[in-house]
Amino acid sequence: MRGLLPLFINDHFGQQHVQGNLNATVLFADLQGFTAHTELLMRQGKPGSERLSRLLNDVFGSAAKAIHSRGGFIPYFAGDAFAGIFPTDIPAEEAVFAAEEIRRSLHQLQVEIPLRIGIDIGPVQWHITPDSPHAWYIRGEGIARAVAVQASTPAGEIFLSKAILGILQPHTVSCQMNGEYGLVKTICDFPEKNIVCPPAEHTPSFLPTFLAQRFHRGEFRQVSSLFLAFPESLTIEEVDRVLQVTTTEVYRREGYYKETDFTDKGGLIVAFFRGTDQHRRVANKGHPDSPGYPFQPDTGETSTADRDQHWSCLLRIGGQ
């Protein structure tokens, strides 16, 4: 189960810390044109699937190595994008060096679609739910800023915000200003790091053991997906309650709770199931009139039509 729980969360949990704030350097990266490329490869059948698998392993493996070795951590992979969080005590230069290492690795691996990277700095909040199975999430303006920088970045390039440029050591990078951002042209020589991250010993408090037996490297499988949306207005206690009941129900049905993400429209919980109707049993517990306590007893009833289809389900809790 190595790598399923960031050491940042693992260490704070071990010290009985359940929430905190930090001014973090955030690296956000996105594979440009990934959706269209995926559709093209999947039309090729098994050879295309294997090629896509290699692509994802190359990109995400290179990203994980570079970010972790320089003191950062990856809170989640969001499809074709990911964030790297570098806490307050890690110099911003490490995020820039990690970005360049990722770019060089993908060039050496001849990755066929371009990655664009944006880096900014700002406040980030993290939280661990109080009850088992524990869940955790990270949100904040720092992530939103890095996403905005990345959205303006040309394919295959690295953009730095003015805030990042203002705190880097002199001669770290040479940039060409492009509006509000600096386009990285050259980076000073920097030492390679190869830090091996130890296993996160508190992973069993967050994830059931069957996940370790099911997921090893990666595979393609037809699944049911659950997207559970909730409004930004929920209190921390209400979000804890939503996460507590959702993760309990997901794991009881041997599903995989992937993440809780936050946007300007509120929160989104993402989970996957092997079967065709288990996500509906979780979703059927929704009750929109009670945002903090949204779930009702499960009747266990599903129709034949439900079982015969592969569903993607969006459930909203509260709000409109």
The per-residue pLDDT for 220 is 64
Least confident interval from 123-127, 187-191, 198-202, 285-289: 285-289
Q: What is the pTM of this model?
A: 0.82
Q: Examine the pLDDT at 24 and tell me if it is beyond 90.
A: yes
Q: Is residue 2 part of a domain?
A: no
Domain boundary among 172, 187, 202: 187
Q: Is residue 215 part of a domain?
A: no
Q: Does residue 238 share a domain with residue 288?
A: yes
Q: Is residue 121 part of a domain?
A: yes
Q: Does residue 260 share a domain with residue 118?
A: no
Q: Examine the pLDDT at 152 and tell me if it is beyond 90.
A: yes
Domain that holds residue 114: 7-187
pLDDT band at 50 (very low <50, low <70, confident <90, very high): confident
Number of domains comprising the chain: 2
Q: Does residue 229 share a domain with residue 182?
A: no
pLDDT band at 293 (very low <50, low <70, confident <90, very high): very low
The CATH number of residue 106's host domain is: 3.30.70.1230
The CATH number of residue 271's host domain is: 3.30.70
Distance CA(277)–CA(283), nearest Å, equals: 10
What's the whole-number average pLDDT of the chain?
82
The per-residue pLDDT for 77 is 84
Q: Is residue 192 part of a domain?
A: no
Higher pLDDT, 260 or 199: 260
Work out the average pLDDT over 4-31: 94
Q: Examine the pLDDT at 311 and tell me if it is beyond 80.
A: no
Q: Does residue 151 share a domain with residue 42?
A: yes
